[in-house]
A = this chain, B = another copy of it.
Amino acid sequence: MIPRTKGQVHIIGSGLLGTSIGLALKKLGVDVSLEDSSSATAKLAIDFGAGRALNESDSVEVVVVCVPPDAASTKVIEALQRFPQAAITDVASVKSGILNEVRQNAEESFRYVGSHPMAGREKGGALNGRPDLFVGRPWVIVPDEASETEVIKRIEALVLDLGATPVQMSAAEHDSAVALVSHTPQLLASLLAARLVDAKDTALGLAGAGLRDTTRIAASDPTLWLQIVSANSEQLIPILKEFELDLEKLIAALSTTSSAGSLSVIASALSEGNRGVSRIPGKHGGSSTEYSRLIVMIDDKPGELARLLTDIGDAGINLEDLSLDHATGALIGLVELAVLPDTQSRLVELLESKNWKLAG
Q: Which residues of A contact B (CB under 8 A)?
A: 23, 48, 118-119, 127-133, 135-138, 140, 163, 165, 167, 169, 173, 176-178, 180-182, 184-197, 199-200, 202-208, 210-220, 222-223, 225-226, 229-230, 233, 236-237, 239-244, 246-248, 250-251, 254-255, 257, 263, 266-267, 269-285, 288, 295, 297, 300-324, 326-330, 332, 334, 357, 359-360
Contact = CB atoms under 8 A, between A and B. Distances in A.
A206 B242 CA distance: 21
Nearest to A316: B302
B248 A195 contact: no
Contacts of A277: 189, 193, 196, 215-216, 218-219
A205 B283 contact: no
3 smallest beta-carbon distances between A and B, as pairs: A136-B327, A303-B313, A190-B273
A195 B239 contact: yes
A240 B251 contact: yes
B324 A313 contact: no
B281 A204 contact: yes
B230 A266 contact: yes
Contacts of A359: 130-133
A214 B222 CA distance: 18
B302 A306 contact: no
Contact of A180 (B189, B195, B283, B312): B195
Given A240-B251, A246-B194, A269-B190, A210 B185 contact: yes
18 contacts: A130-B360, A135-B332, A177-B203, A177-B206, A185-B214, A191-B243, A196-B276, A197-B272, A197-B276, A204-B281, A213-B213, A213-B217, A218-B277, A233-B257, A244-B244, A283-B326, A302-B316, A304-B313
A227 to B, nearest CB: 9
Copies of the chain in the assembly: 2
A126 to B, nearest CB: 9
A197 B275 contact: yes
A130 B244 contact: no
Contacts of A223: 267
Contact of A243 (B247, B257, B271, B278): B247
A306 B301 contact: no
Given A190-B269, A237-B255, 10 more contacts: A135-B332, A163-B327, A193-B276, A195-B239, A199-B279, A210-B216, A213-B216, A214-B216, A220-B274, A247-B247
A283 B322 CA distance: 17
Contact of A206 (B118, B271, B283): B118
B285 A329 contact: yes
Contact of A272 (B138, B193, B199, B317): B193
Contacts of A330: 135-136, 163
Contacts of A311: 306
B182 A211 contact: yes
A230 to B, nearest CB: 4
A274 B222 contact: yes
